Structure 1
Amino acid sequence: MEIVDDIENCTPPEVQETAKLTTLNLLPQKSRKKYELSYKMFIDWCRTKKTNSFSENVLLAYFSELAEKYKSSSLWSQYSFLKSTLSIHNNINIETYPKLRAFLKRKSEAYQATKSKTFTPMEIDEFLSNAPDEMYLATKVALIMGIMGACRTSEIHAIKVNDIVDINKTMLVTIPVTKTKNVRKFTITGKFYNVVQKYINLRPPNVSTNSLFLNYQKGKCTCQNIGVNKISKMGKEIANYLKLPEAEKYTGHSFRRSSATILVDAGADITALKRHGGWKSTTVAEGYIDTSMKNKMDSANKIINAVQASSSSVGNTTENKEITNTNVDVKSLPFTIVNYGTVNVYVHNKT
């Protein structure tokens, strides 16, 4: 089974090679290997099944086997990889396979993604204020970058010193390379500024790298860069210091999720949230609003207040009706009923 199906046999070999290289460049540069590996796995599977077909039934059988060992999120990733590679290499559009998409959606119904836990403002302040700088200064800077800019782990790792501009005790930080290809900017002020500036001032004079994050030990920076994997473990490091339960569920992505949650709890709307985190998808951004504890409490209070107001109104109406509709001779009562709007005052008669 050929990777490239040459329909026109008269095409010169050099043109074919140029076309092949051009089509390969259509895949994302950063994750091209994942796409090609997924395609190779599918082609190898087809060979073992002795089929040259890319029909919907073949794809259904393939994904049915994958579903036995992959989670729903991984199935959708494989679908995305194959959608691109089959289109490029074989001119097949699997988006036109409704039964395949229905199968993947059905697998997603019972699946619940595990999300990184978030830090509260109080927990963030406690760590920044009390954790010793001699051990945790680099971690503090990563936390500040992640919280103030809603940064992903890869974005924190990619920050360079020249991405930070100091303007009168305010740092303007630019994130030039993002997942959505949109440049984002954010500022750092106050005591957060002092923490970051302290870390920058510890950079060795002979350091050759422009990366912001340098290895930090015993109050000193070395010339070695901090790797992205180490940054991804800083969430757990903070959770362990704070003695939070399930520390393993705090990851590098906790910074971004915490930033979004704090912003929403402070009253930000969907537009401000999308701009802050660079989200293109409204659905993803709305997920943070849906899980906002402040929003849940506000909604609960509105419902409770409405019910109580309705209950009070019904109670007053019922009480008035009971007095009005009674068959008792009012003149025989030892008191006089005086009504002031919704309030009944009982005045004892003089004997």
Structure 2
Amino acid sequence: MNSDSEVELLCTPPEIRQAANDTIQNLLPEKSQNKYKTVYKNFQDWCSNKNIKSFTENVLLAYFSELSTKYKPSSLWTFYSMLRSTLDLNNSINIENYSKLRAFLKRQSEKHVAKKAKTFTPEQLNNFINEAPDEKYLATKVALIMGIMGACRAAELHSMQITDLEDHGSIFMVNVPNTKTKIARKFTVTGNFYTIVKKYLNLRPTDISQTIFFLKFQNGKYHSHRIGINKFGAMGKDIATFLKLPDCNLYTGHCFRRSSATLLVDAGGDITALKRHGGWRSTTVAEGYIDNSEKNKADTANKIYSSITPQPVSTSTKYMQQTETETINLQNSAPHIQFNGCSNFTVNFINK
């Protein structure tokens, strides 16, 4: 504890300190407050065991160096972000100015190749939706449809309410009000997807008072218990297993969201449409969700090839060009008709 903090502790009444502390805790993200507090406490315990009473850059470097032997770089950045907030709120220390610490974390990231969730192709999605039996997989199909059409996270599917769906006859308008980035989104469900979601709703017993949209559905029957968030995380693996795809474990809870982003871009969507679709603020983060699909590779190759190699003109194209040329020539030599009075007229051919 620094001298300024000691002076403040002595001069501030206990009830004022408590009120200030309660206010500080409310500044942390509501959903993950406990995680922030745990990370902060772990750091405090480490400092206590090492008999450390200051939070200098060297102290933070030693701490994260030790953590790097146990955790992957993505986790280190998470701990850094949480400590940055909690140390600033509780100790008025801004570790964002610790350039050596940030350099260390970046170096750790350079050595690590992250494994991203695999994505589904349009053919694989069609096969599952058309071939998987509804008695067992209807809820999974609906979750897949929502995840793909709305780029939904597992937590967003888990918290979805019946009131989030607006039925417009042949279209569902779906609201996603509570998101990780605080950006509310909307998306639509149409066509055969609408029919599948409608079937899932129609089978729902009228005596269930639950407003949660996703309830357990097994052996063709509803249960009053909601589907757990971990089940949503495992649905990608379940689909991959049904389709007998390799590396089923890589179809994690993020595969719906990544598949959605990839499908949109492969269909011609630009980065603005992608960020709006997934609710991403950062272009870099949004681009990280796009899988380098076979279609994307083929489209890129075709564009490069077409710019280098002259494309042959087909017979039908040549015929159309010849017809257009003959039409133009005929128009240029067409007769100009001039009326002279009511009954006589002359015809003059004008060459243009």
TM-score, normalised on structure 2?
0.84
Deviation of 1:253 (Å): 1.4
What are the residue-to-residue correspondences of 1:1-351 with 2, within 5 Å? 5=5, 7-8=7-8, 9-289=10-290, 291-309=292-310
State how far apart, in whole Å, the 1-side matches of 2:298 and 2:243 are: 26
Corresponding residue for residue 337 of structure 1: none
Deviation of 1:298 (Å): 2.7
Deviation of 1:222 (Å): 1.2
State how far apart, in whole Å, the 2-side matches of 1:182 and 1:189 are: 23
Please identify, of 183-192 and 8-17, the stretch whose mean Cα deviation from structure 2 is larger.
8-17
Deviation of 1:290 (Å): 7.0
Corresponding letter in the other structure for 2:59:
V
CA contact (8 A) 2:237 2:251 kept: yes
Gaps of 5+ in 2: 311-352
Deviations 1:182-206 (A, max 9, x none): 1100011111011011111111222
Corresponding letter in the other structure for 2:143:
A
The 1:137–1:289 alpha-carbon spacing in structure 2 relative to 1, beyond 3 Å, is closer
CA contact (8 A) 1:35 1:81 kept: yes
State how far apart, in whole Å, the 2-side matches of 1:150 and 1:172 are: 14
State how far apart, in whole Å, the 1-side matches of 2:291 and 2:127 are: 27
The 1:289–1:40 alpha-carbon spacing in structure 2 relative to 1, beyond 3 Å, is closer
Corresponding letter in the other structure for 1:150:
A
Deviation of 1:181 (Å): 0.5
Deviation of 1:15 (Å): 1.7
Deviation of 1:7 (Å): 4.1
State how far apart, in whole Å, the 1-side matches of 2:302 and 2:242 are: 35
CA contact (8 A) 1:236 1:249 kept: yes
Corresponding letter in the other structure for 2:299:
D
Corresponding letter in the other structure for 1:144:
I
Corresponding letter in the other structure for 2:117:
S
Corresponding letter in the other structure for 2:239:
I
Corresponding letter in the other structure for 1:134:
E
CA contact (8 A) 1:204 1:223 kept: no
State how far apart, in whole Å, the 1-side matches of 2:282 and 2:84 are: 21
Corresponding letter in the other structure for 1:247:
C
Q: Secondary structure at the match of 2:192?
A: helix
State how far apart, in whole Å, the 1-side matches of 2:187 and 2:6 are: 50
CA contact (8 A) 2:262 2:291 kept: no
State how far apart, in whole Å, the 2-side matches of 1:125 and 1:295 are: 19
Deviation of 1:210 (Å): 0.4
Q: Secondary structure at the match of 1:187?
A: strand
State how far apart, in whole Å, the 2-side matches of 1:258 and 1:192 are: 16
Deviation of 1:81 (Å): 1.1
Q: Secondary structure at the match of 2:11?
A: coil
Q: RMSD value over aligned CA atoms?
A: 1.8
Corresponding residue for residue 321 of structure 1: none
Please identify, of 131-140 and 8-17, the stretch whose mean Cα deviation from structure 2 is larger.
8-17
Gaps of 5+ in 1: 310-351
The 1:63–1:294 alpha-carbon spacing in structure 2 relative to 1, beyond 3 Å, is same
State how far apart, in whole Å, the 2-side matches of 1:155 and 1:28 are: 17
Deviation of 1:301 (Å): 2.2
- Identity percentage of aligned residues: 60
Corresponding residue for residue 334 of structure 1: none
State how far apart, in whole Å, the 2-side matches of 1:283 and 1:261 are: 15
Deviations 1:4-24 (A, max 9, x none): 946433323222211110011
State how far apart, in whole Å, the 2-side matches of 1:237 and 1:295 are: 26
The 1:59–1:152 alpha-carbon spacing in structure 2 relative to 1, beyond 3 Å, is same
Corresponding letter in the other structure for 2:99:
P
Deviation of 1:297 (Å): 2.3
Deviations 1:70-121 (A, max 9, x none): 1101111111111011111111100011000000000010111111111111
Deviations 1:277-296 (A, max 9, x none): 11111001223457244343
The 1:293–1:6 alpha-carbon spacing in structure 2 relative to 1, beyond 3 Å, is farther
Corresponding letter in the other structure for 2:222:
C
State how far apart, in whole Å, the 1-side matches of 2:264 and 2:6 are: 54
CA contact (8 A) 1:264 1:288 kept: no
CA contact (8 A) 2:177 2:184 kept: yes
State how far apart, in whole Å, the 1-side matches of 2:297 and 2:290 are: 9
CA contact (8 A) 2:119 2:291 kept: no
State how far apart, in whole Å, the 1-side matches of 2:6 and 2:230 are: 43
TM-score, normalised on structure 1?
0.84
